[in-house]
């Protein structure tokens, strides 16, 4: 009986963790330790991450060019862009507010004993004009080589619009891009087949290193972030999806399990992007026009899980140092964390660096980050899973409102599923 991919990824994850924990508890002789953890597991995990990253720029360029060309014909580009960005900002602001509320109820920073600190450099809020100017690529090839996603997105949208406007010549190139898009989707499916092995390797490395002592010391902080992430995933997203679209949120969450698992294991919404895009199109039923724009944009600017960590961390650090925050400070945190989410690169651990910006705005000591760094690895995994689920949720909502969602695909549990014998 063929086993579906989600189950195989789950098995890879569980086995990897068991092996990793076992290695941590009962260290192997040096030779095997080096061979198995440093060579096989780390090498395998890195290859898997590289295969995912390999797909990101080509996929976004081709898929979004096709999407923008179709949208250009309907004249919907502006409206769609406005809706998508508006929803991304709204869900992030809700996420920080929820995090601040939960942290103020649970008080994670009160009564915490000594925690080993680390020094941290403050990150200044970027200049707004420069940030906007830098969205436009001076050299698209450079933008692709550097993986500058916002610049690649702008270039692809403009190229798609030009394809649509260029009559016969546009039509010829357009059909080439459409074919290339199909081929890239196949390529992702091929990469997706190795996911269980990649996840196994990543989990062995994680399990052999995870610091249980730190987690125990910062248990309340850890629990507050984790609990708020779960609340956002299981209450806020489902409610928004139901209210805006009337769709069954459980069906949506079930279909998003694979991107969630890949995001959890890689801690990178950027690396997960090919899997998210494929899932949102082929399993959830969002048209290429909407998915190709909303998903890459979301992976770049929408980080609800990261914003949740930042909200809880701000309250935690304020309480730890005994600094009182007023209502105006909380409003500033909501604003800065929402902006920081836009500026956070979709790779592991950057959310913590961007937290310096939030702390700086409300005058909290940035050394506070040293307190929570020990448990950030695991929280990064969880928040990245929430980040990608939020991207898909907004893409689905926008698609439903624009008549760009294929309900028969959404309702078919088998649609777009990857099987393995
Ligand atoms: N790892 C997160 C992501 O890629 C970003 C972060 O919170 O550090 O979505």
Ligand 1 atom closest to Cα of residue 303: 9
Cα separation, 195 vs 200, in Å, equals: 8
Token pair 């030779």 in the structure block, residue: 31
Cα separation, 336 vs 330, in Å, equals: 10
Over the chain, what is the mean pLDDT? 90
Domains defined for the chain, CATH in brackets: 5-411 (1.10.3860.10)
- The residue among 12, 13, 32, 23 whose CA lies nearest residue 208 is 23
pLDDT at position 255 over 70: yes
What band does 147 get if pLDDT is binned at 50, 70 and 90? Answer: confident
pLDDT at position 421 over 60: no
pLDDT at position 130 over 90: no
Distances 120 to 112, 230, 317, 362 between C-alpha atoms, Å: 20, 29, 14, 17
Q: Are 32 and 246 in contact (CB under 8 A)?
A: no
Cα separation, 3 vs 126, in Å, equals: 48
Query: Rounded to two decimals, what is the model's pTM?
Result: 0.89
What is residue 75's DSSP assignment?
Answer: T
Mean pLDDT, rounded, for 69-92:
88
What DSSP line would sit under 267-315, residue for residue?
Answer: --HHHHHHHHHHIIIIII-B-HHHHHHHHHHHHHH--HHHHHHHHHHHH
Structure confidence at residue 113 (pLDDT)? 63
For ligand 1, pick from 123, 306, 356, 357 the residue to mutate: most ligand atoms within 8 Å of CB.
306
Residue 118, SS3 per DSSP = coil
Mean pLDDT, rounded, for 249-274:
96
Structure confidence at residue 175 (pLDDT)? 93
Structure confidence at residue 121 (pLDDT)? 61
pLDDT at position 321 over 80: yes
Task: Quote the percentage of the chain above a pLDDT of 70.
Answer: 95
Q: Are 18 and 204 in contact (CB under 8 A)?
A: no
- Residue-wise pLDDT for 392-401, tens only, equals 999 999 999 9
What band does 353 get if pLDDT is binned at 50, 70 and 90? Answer: confident
Structure confidence at residue 267 (pLDDT)? 94
Cα separation, 154 vs 314, in Å, equals: 34
Structure confidence at residue 269 (pLDDT)? 94
Cα separation, 405 vs 32, in Å, equals: 51
Cα separation, 342 vs 320, in Å, equals: 28
- The residue among 357, 351, 311, 313 whose CA lies nearest residue 334 is 311
Ligand 1 atom closest to Cα of residue 270: 4
Q: Which residues line ligand 1 (CB under 6 A)?
A: 267-270, 303, 306, 344, 346-351, 380, 383-384, 387
- Residue-wise pLDDT for 37-72, tens only, equals 888 999 999 999 999 999 999 998 999 999 898 887
Please state which of the ranges 13-27, 38-52, 226-240, 338-352 shows the lowest mean pLDDT.
Answer: 338-352
What band does 214 get if pLDDT is binned at 50, 70 and 90? Answer: confident
19 CB neighbour count, 10 Å cutoff = 19
Quick one: tokens of 223?
């629990």
Q: Which residue minimizes the CA distance to atom 7 of ligand 1?
A: 351
pLDDT at position 314 over 60: yes
pLDDT at position 2 over 80: no
pLDDT at position 241 over 80: yes
Mean pLDDT, rounded, for 205-225:
86
- Residue-wise pLDDT for 168-188, tens only, equals 999 999 999 999 999 998 998
Quick one: tokens of 170?
């546009």
Q: Are 395 and 294 in contact (CB under 8 A)?
A: yes
pLDDT at position 308 over 90: yes
Size of the chain in residues: 421
Cα separation, 74 vs 82, in Å, equals: 16
CA 85–ligand 1 middle distance (angstroms): 19
């Amino acid at each position: 009986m063929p086993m579906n991919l989600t189950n195989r990824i789950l098995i890879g994850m569980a086995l990897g963790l068991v092996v990793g924990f076992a290695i941590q508890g009962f260290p192997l002789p040096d030779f095997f330790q080096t061979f198995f953890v440093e060579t096989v597991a780390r090498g395998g995990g890195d290859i898997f991450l590289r295969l995912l990253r390999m797909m990101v720029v080509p996929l976004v360029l081709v898929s979004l060019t096709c999407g923008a060309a179709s949208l250009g014909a309907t004249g919907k580009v502006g409206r769609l862009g406005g809706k998508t960005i508006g929803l991304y900002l709204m869900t992030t602001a809700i996420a920080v507010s929820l995090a601040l509320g939960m942290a103020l109820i649970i008080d994670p920073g009160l009564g915490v004993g000594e925690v080993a600190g680390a020094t941290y450099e403050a990150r200044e809020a970027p200049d707004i004009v420069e940030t906007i100017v830098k969205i436009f690529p001076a050299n698209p090839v450079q933008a692709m080589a550097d993986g500058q996603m916002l610049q690649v997105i702008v270039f692809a949208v403009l190229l798609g619009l030009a394809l649509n406007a260029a009559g016969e010549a546009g039509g010829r190139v357009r059909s080439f891009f459409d074919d290339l898009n199909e081929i890239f989707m196949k390529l992702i499916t091929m990469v997706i087949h190795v996911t269980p092995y990649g996840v196994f390797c990543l989990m062995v490395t994680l399990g052999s290193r995870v610091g249980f002592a730190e987690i125990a010391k910062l248990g309340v902080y850890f629990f507050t972030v984790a609990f708020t992430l779960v609340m956002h995933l299981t209450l806020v997203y489902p409610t928004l999806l139901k209210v805006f679209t009337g769709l069954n949120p459980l069906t949506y969450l079930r279909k998003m399990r694979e991107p969630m698992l890949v995001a959890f294991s890689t801690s990178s919404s950027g690396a997960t992007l090919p899997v998210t895009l494929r899932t949102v199109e082929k399993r959830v039923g969002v048209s290429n026009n909407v998915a190709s724009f909303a998903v890459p944009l979301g992976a770049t600017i929408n980080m609800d899980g990261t914003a949740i960590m930042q909200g809880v961390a701000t309250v935690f650090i304020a309480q730890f140092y005994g600094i009182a925050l007023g209502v105006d400070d909380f409003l500033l945190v909501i604003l800065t964390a929402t902006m920081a989410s836009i500026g956070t690169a979709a790779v592991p651990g950057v959310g913590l660096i961007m937290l310096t910006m939030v702390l700086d705005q409300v005058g909290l000591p940035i050394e506070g980050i040293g307190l929570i760094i020990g448990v950030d690895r695991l929280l990064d995994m969880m928040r990245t899973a929430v980040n990608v689920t939020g991207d898909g949720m907004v893409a689905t909502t926008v698609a439903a409102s624009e008549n760009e969602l294929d309900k028969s695909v959404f309702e078919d549990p088998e649609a777009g599923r990857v099987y393995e014998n």
